[in-house]
Structure 1
């Protein structure tokens, strides 16, 4: 079975905790590509997918939705779902579709969660997709998170308090490979942790 984790991945440290939890089999991880029916059923606001390229065979994540080119927001690549009407109205010379998850429309996010106020370009109440890839012991691990800005603002999607308490040794990650490296602090228990 293919089962996502549900929650809101706000920070890179949240993402690293989820990736570590998936490696430890504390939360679900993806071991194969989603089929069309699964994409339709389980990709929704709050869905978080973690997978290893080696284990799953997934080199490029596809989800059947329309997205602009990514924008860098901190350590994440962030995309905002495009409306199908916009997709159809653009001249072929301005856009191309290389996979179900890509197009060449650009946008500039104005907030840390990668959203803008431009409602004419994007699907109303559409999804935001946040992705990050890390390497642990030579294995490439990806996290793909979906949410709507409405669910974030309303508090429907909660942050990851339970997962954040799982001990995660900072040395698992090559912190120098991050655009914005997480900081390492010593906790009251004497263990190093990422913040």
Structure 2
């Protein structure tokens, strides 16, 4: 079950959601997502959990994601095309040289138009590997925070660029349903 539906644009938005969960205004995730819950992840899905309460340290959603990259206080991932092979899986050409399954932007564009331009990743001795980003795929944005009383809170949100560009998703700090949520001064250091 989603904690919230909208776009977490800033740390302030995340704090509002964390506090709304503490006040019982919004539900926290209580355990790992079921297969049905995973199937219902959509642009605007936001999930919040307390690490100890939910016994979840690492979030799993059944989707393939790019390597993480920092974006302010958040960590961001791009959804990868489903047919992308693991970085460990290799195909061999006729000369026996190992090469990645998708080695160029041209190769990714020949997969039925389902992937956007590829993005390079770290080299591991085989040259640069490229991972095809899912065209119109979701972006996953994550934030973890310790409270003053030692709790570890996590937030994972999903959104489509088109939805944020067109402002189709609520932003917590502008959401009337959360207007009465006040963030205590020393709770989130």
- Shorter-chain-normalised TM-score: which range? 0.7 to 0.9
Deviations for 1:133-185, whole angstroms, at most 9, x for unmatched residues?
Answer: 111111100011100001111221121213355211121112xxxxxxxxxxx
Partner of 2:142 in structure 1? 131
Q: Give me the CA root mean square deviation.
A: 2.0
- Please show how residues 1-195 of structure 1 align to structure 2 within 5 Å: 2-41=1-40, 43-85=41-83, 87-88=84-85, 92=89, 119-120=117-118, 121-136=132-147, 137-160=149-172, 161=174, 162=176, 163=178, 165-174=180-189
TM-score, scaled to structure 1: 0.70
User: 2-side partners of 1:165 and 1:82: how far apart?
Assistant: 38
Tell whether the 8 Å contact from 1:14 to 1:164 is kept in structure 2 after alignment. Answer: no
Tell whether the 8 Å contact from 1:46 to 1:147 is kept in structure 2 after alignment. Answer: yes
TM-score, scaled to structure 2: 0.72
User: 2-side partners of 1:89 and 1:63: how far apart?
Assistant: 17
Structure 1 residue 25, shift from structure 2 partner = 1.1
Structure 1 residue 15, shift from structure 2 partner = 0.7
User: 2-side partners of 1:159 and 1:138: how far apart?
Assistant: 27
- Which of the pair is proportionally richer in strand? 2
- Which runs of 5 or more structure 2 residues have no equivalent in the other structure? 92-115, 119-131
- Which runs of 5 or more structure 1 residues have no equivalent in the other structure? 95-117, 175-195
SS in 1 for 2:13: helix
User: 1-side partners of 2:86 and 2:49: how far apart?
Assistant: 35
Structure 1 residue 4, shift from structure 2 partner = 2.9
> Which structure's relative contact order is higher, taking Cα pairs within 8 Å and 6+ residues apart?
2
Query: Alpha carbons of 1:90 and 1:139: their partners in 2 closer, same or farther (altered >3 Å)?
Result: closer
User: 2-side partners of 1:8 and 1:89: how far apart?
Assistant: 30
